[in-house]
Amino acid sequence: MIGIQEQQNLFIRIAEKLPRKIEVYAIGGTAMMFLGLKDKTIDVDLVFKNVEDRKIFKETAILLGFREFSAHVVYGKRDNVPEMIVLGDVRIDLFLFKIISSYFSDSMQKRATQTHEFGSLIIRVADSSDILIMKSVTSREKDMDDIISIVKEGKINWNIVVEESKNQVSLGKESAIMNLGEKLERLTNQKIIYIPKDVLDKIWKLFNRQVKEKAKKSR
C-alpha cells in the first residue's frame, strides 16, 4: 500500500533523476488519489506514450532501488500485462496504451486534462468517467468499492461513459459494454449507488445491438 504523501515523494524522487522530460497518464488507484477519491492504493498505475519513455522511467526507478518483478505473478498469463517494478511494498505497473482488459484510447487521453508536474515527470490524470470504465471491465472485487466511490462523488458524465464503452468495443474489447452494464446494474439493484435509468437502458440497448451484429456476422 502507498499513501498520498509517499506517492508524492516517490514521484519527486524519480523526477529528480530522470534524464529528460517524460509525460505519463495516471490511471486506477493513482488517478483516484489525485482526484481525492482515495487515500491509498496497492499499486501505482502509469500509462506511457511509448516504449522508450517507459524504459527510461524504469531504469531511473531501478537506480533508486526498485527491482523488476514478473507481471505474470500478479496478472497470470493474460495479454497486455504491464512491466512491473517493486520496492518494499510499493509496486509500480508500467503500461503502454493497452491495459489488460481495456484500452487507453485517444479520447481518454484527451480527457486527461488534470496535470501534475513533478519536475521532469509530468503526470496527466485520467478522467473519473474513464476510470469507472476501466474499473468495470476487471473482475476484481476491490474495484467495486472504487466504482462506488467514483459514482458517489457525482462527477460522472454518463454520456462519456456510454460513448467510451462503445469506443472500447470498436477497439476490440468486446465485453466492455456487458461488463459495465452488469456491474452498474448489480450495484443499483443492491441500492448502493444510483444510476439514472436511462443510462442503464442505453447501455443494455448498445449491448443488444452488439449481440445482434455479432450474430449477423457469424451467420
Partner 1 sequence: MITKNNIFELARKLRGINTLKMIESALNVNRTRAIYIIYKLRKNGFVETKYNSDKTRIYHISPQNALGGTSYTEILNKYSPLKLMVSDVHQIYGRVPSIEETLIYTINRRTVRHIIASLALFRKVENWSDLYKRAKKENLVREVVALYDISRLVIPKLKRMPQRFKTLATPRKSDKFRYIIDGLYSIHFKKIEEKWKVYIPLNWDDLTDYRGEFT
Would you count residue 74 as binding partner 1 (CB under 8 A)? Answer: no
Q: Does 196 bind partner 1 (CB under 8 A)?
A: no
Note whether 25 binds partner 1 by CB under 8 A: no
Q: Closer to partner 1 at the Cβ: 1 or 51?
A: 1
Q: Is 145 in the site for partner 1 (CB under 8 A)?
A: no
Provide, rounded to whole angstroms, the least separation between the CB of residue 171 and partner 1. 27
3-state helix/strand/coil string of the chain: CEEHHHHHHHHHHHHHHCCCCEEEEEEHHHHHHHCCCCCEECEEEEEECCHHHHHHHHHHHHHCCCEEECHHHHHCCCCCCCEEEEECCEEEEEECCEECCEECCHHHHHHCCEEEEECCEEEEECCHHHHHHHHHCCCCCHHHHHHHHHHHHCCCCHHHHHHHHHHHHHCCCCCHHHHHHHHHHHHHHCCCCCCCHHHHHHHHHHHHHHHHHHHHHHC
| Among positions 2, 10, 15, 22, the unique one binding partner 1 when judged by CB under 8 A | 15
Q: Does 118 bind partner 1 (CB under 8 A)?
A: yes
- CB atoms < 10 A from the CB of 36, how many? 9
Q: Would you say 5 or 218 has its CB closer to partner 1?
A: 5
Q: Is 39 in the site for partner 1 (CB under 8 A)?
A: yes
Does the footprint of partner 1 cover residue 35 (CB under 8 A)? yes
Min. distance of Cβ 12 from partner 1 in angstroms?
A: 4
Site for partner 1 in 96-115 (CB under 8 A): 113-115
- Least distance (Å) between residue 36 CB and partner 1: 4
- How near is the Cβ of 191 to partner 1 at its closest, in Å? 19
Q: Does residue 176 belong to the site contacting partner 1 (CB under 8 A)?
A: no
Task: Say whether residue 12 binds partner 1 (CB under 8 A).
Answer: yes
Angle between helices 128-136 and 142-153 (to 10 degrees): 150
If the CB atoms of residues 110 and 219 are measured against partner 1, the closer one turns out to be 110
